[in-house]
Structure 1
Amino acid sequence: MAESIELTVTGMKCGGCETNVKGKVGAIDGVLSVAASSKEKKVEVDYDAAKTNLDAIKAAIAEAGFTVE
């Protein structure tokens, strides 16, 4: 079942940061789409809840060097 989540993420300052987050989160099996905005400090993720979960998404954002509020 597909689910959507919008997270507030701090530390992103530019398009490179957005690309980094999209790459890390997008590499998770089950993630269908990722949109990141450094201006709005938001990351939106559509994912298959049968394959991944919110904890894995948050861990990937942290691995990219950013903080989920």
Structure 2
Amino acid sequence: MKANVGSIDRTIRILVGACLIAATLFGVIGPWGWLGLVPLATGIFRFCPAYCPFGFRTCTIEK
């Protein structure tokens, strides 16, 4: 797995994922907030499987 998630994209994914999980834990939103695990994991691992079929990447190309 090559990294295909850049630093800004990564930061946004981690923040959104953590906020969704926190909102679920505090009872602000329902159980669908556990979907926040997806952006959190893709941000941590710097790899998004949805980008692969389209050849999309938000990180710099390694030389």
Name the TM-score, length of structure 1 as normaliser: 0.30
- Whichever structure has more strand as a proportion of its residues is 1
Find the structure with the greater CA-based Rg.
2
- Whichever structure has more helix as a proportion of its residues is 2
Name the TM-score, length of structure 2 as normaliser: 0.31
